[in-house]
Amino acid sequence: MDDTRSATSRVRGLGSAHEGVKHWWLQRITALALIPLIVWFVIGLVVHTGADHAAVTSWLRSPVTYGLMLLLLAAAFWHGALGLQVVIEDYVHTEWRKLALILLAKGACIGLFVAAYISLTIIAFAGSGNG
């Protein structure tokens, strides 16, 4: 069959979705980043099982934990937002509902990350006297 697309359309390589492989690729990149981060996180949680507030905050306060926790949560919520988007696109076919749900899911992921960032920053920069 002859290609009926214009030269511009062909060189862009985009179909009816109007976008390329960026979503797919970012899902893989965040997945790859999450492998070592999750291993580190699970070990960190396990060794702090039942630990009190002082012990947990002193762990979270260390620069390495602070940085890795931010990377973990950023990668996790980014990966989660992309995943939620795929699920919504698979099952919600009314255009306005689909758009609203995707915006809601992505907004929730961004909001949760910001809440985690503020909490971790408070823990990291507050003195140990802060209760």
Partner 1 sequence: MSPADRPISPHLQIYKFQLTSVLSILHRFTGLGLVAGAAVLVGWLIAAAHGAAAFDTAQAIAGAWYGRLLLFLWAFALFYHLCNGIRHLGWDAGLGLDLPSVYLTGWIVVIAAAVLTVGSFTAAYWYLGAL
Residue 102 CB-half CA count within 13 A:
17
CB 84 within 8 A of CB 110: no
Quote the CA–CA distance of 119 and 1 in Å, as a whole number. 58
Angle between helices 53-61 and 95-125 (to 10 degrees): 100
Q: Does 112 bind partner 1 (CB under 8 A)?
A: yes
User: Shortest distance, CB of residue 4 to partner 1, whole angstroms?
Assistant: 26
Q: Does 96 bind partner 1 (CB under 8 A)?
A: no
Contact region with partner 1 (CB under 8 A), list: 3-11, 15-23, 24-32:
24-32
Please state the φ and ψ torsions of residue 93, each to the nearest 5 degrees: -110, 0
48 binds partner 1 per the rule CB under 8 A: yes
Instruction: Enumerate the H helices of 13-62 as residue ranges.
Output: 22-47, 53-61
3-state class (DSSP) for residue 3: coil
Min CB(94)–partner 1 separation in Å: 6
Q: Is 100 in the site for partner 1 (CB under 8 A)?
A: no
When asked if residue 129 is in the footprint of partner 1 (CB under 8 A), the reply is no
**Interface positions with partner 1 (CB under 8 A):** 28, 31-32, 34-35, 38, 42, 45-50, 52-54, 56-57, 60, 73, 76-77, 80, 83-84, 87, 91, 93-94, 108-109, 112-113, 115-116, 118-120, 122-123, 126, 130-131
